[in-house]
């Protein structure tokens, strides 16, 4: 299950007990639409192990600014409240799955 990441709830999720993956996207972004189903699949597969969030940078750009994100899609990976990995651009499911596994 995916959660909506907002400026207001980001810190709570980032500092939660489970690792956090944040997909930074926008409605007008073609590559974002390409990876959205992959991120959704991985969210279901890792449910209960990793929190997966979607952050619309048009509505909540504070998160993108805080981490110097200039291109979307960008996926941020957090563990223990710290940024441990970042992936920019579209990718196949196998590539993102490896990143998810590395968080566990």
Residues tagged active-site: 29, 32
Q: Where are the alpha helices (DSSP H) in the chain?
A: 10-14, 30-45, 61-66, 93-103
Judge whether 3 and 52 are in contact, CB under 8 Å: yes
Distance, in Å, from the CA atom of 71 to the CA atom of 90, rounded to the nearest integer, reads: 11
């Amino acid at each position: 299950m995916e959660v909506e990441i907002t400026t207001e709830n980001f810190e709570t999720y980032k500092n939660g007990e489970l690792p956090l993956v944040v997909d930074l996207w926008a409605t007008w972004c073609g590559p974002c639409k390409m990876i959205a189903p992959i991120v959704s699949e991985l969210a279901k597969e890792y449910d209960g192990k990793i929190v997966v969030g979607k952050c619309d940078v048009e509505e909540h750009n504070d998160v993108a600014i805080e981490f110097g994100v200039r291109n979307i899609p960008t996926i941020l990976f957090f563990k223990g409240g710290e940024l441990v990995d970042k992936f920019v651009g579209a990718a196949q499911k196998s590539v993102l799955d490896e990143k998810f596994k590395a968080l566990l």
